[in-house]
Structure 1
Amino acid sequence: MGGKSAGGKRKMITVRAAPSNPTRAFVSFDGVTVPAAIGRSGRTAFKREGDGATPIAAMKLLYGFVRGERVGALPTGLSLIRIKDDMLWCDAPTHAAYNRPVRAPFKASHERMQRKDGLYDICLVLDWNITSRRRHRGSAIFFHLIRPGYQPTEGCIAISPTAMRRLIRFMRPGMVVRVI
């Protein structure tokens, strides 16, 4: 398994909605399919901040965050930033740092990257509303670890730690995660 197919095209990670549950999905890459959770509001082509939906889109993988003390080294072509206690992600649509990493203390609305529940122990940043950013279009769309029982996310894509470890070794910056 490599980064390109025999025809030279970049491989893509595909996220397909489960037919019987709008908050569940299947993530497929290079012949491997694993169960996943998506947004509590399912999928949408019209993503808005706080709607709880996963955007129907082709999003490039940019880089990731990792809780090094919990996860250890990961073989991947992605840049991984070790999460520290003061790392946050701004989700305040009217703030200049909207949909960007920020550091504590930070007064505007934000999400803590160092979570007690372990969801962001491996957290990959998808290019949703980042390189071409617009207010209220949604923030913090990540590819991260799952809650027990595949509970829905706030709009992200989540898979098991075992599946993430299996897939991350083939992930590279610019690889596309396509939600259909």
Structure 2
Amino acid sequence: MPDAETSRSTQRRDTQKRILDAARTLFAERGYERTTIRGIATLASADPRLVSHYYGAKEQLFAAAVRHDVEPDAGAGPISPAEVMLENLGMKISGLPETSLAMFRSMLTHPEAAELARAEIDDRIRSLASMISADDADLRAALLLAVTIGVTVARELVEVAELREASPAAIAAILLPAFDALTTSDRIEP
């Protein structure tokens, strides 16, 4: 019977992935408020009860849909926090992932989505701060993330012409010194 169990396990993972992909698509297209569990289930070709079973309420599904981690390439050797942020930014400006689009659109229009997005951003700040050896690592990480979010929103949602016309590599080259300065341990006194 291991084959039947494996098959059920595979089906469960496939269904969860379809639901999460559908949620990302609808949250990105419609925002938090106009996305429904029923709509997600329909797009995922799943029963709405399965959506709730696997992800709970809409708030938990949104949190899962906007969560994504940027993992550095394991074979690339050590990577600095600045390089992590630039890699993250490069991914966003090369084509905004649905996770980010869903979060950006929804957090600006719905208070519950804003709170969930804030929790995700806080997690990213803590993760990035752990890579920075400075007394004010949390502040530095928050600034890095704020610049990244700002560039992403300006380029992808507001469609600022200068940012849209520039290549991700050109933007990264200009930002690298600023990101490096934010991630060094030398504290700049006011």
The alignment's TM-score, normalised by the length of structure 2, stands at 0.22
Between structure 1 and structure 2, the one with the greater Rg is: 2
Q: Which has the higher strand share?
A: 1
Question: Structure 1 length as normaliser, TM-score?
Answer: 0.23
Q: Which has the higher contact order (CA 8 A, sep 6+)?
A: 1
Structure having the higher helix fraction is 2
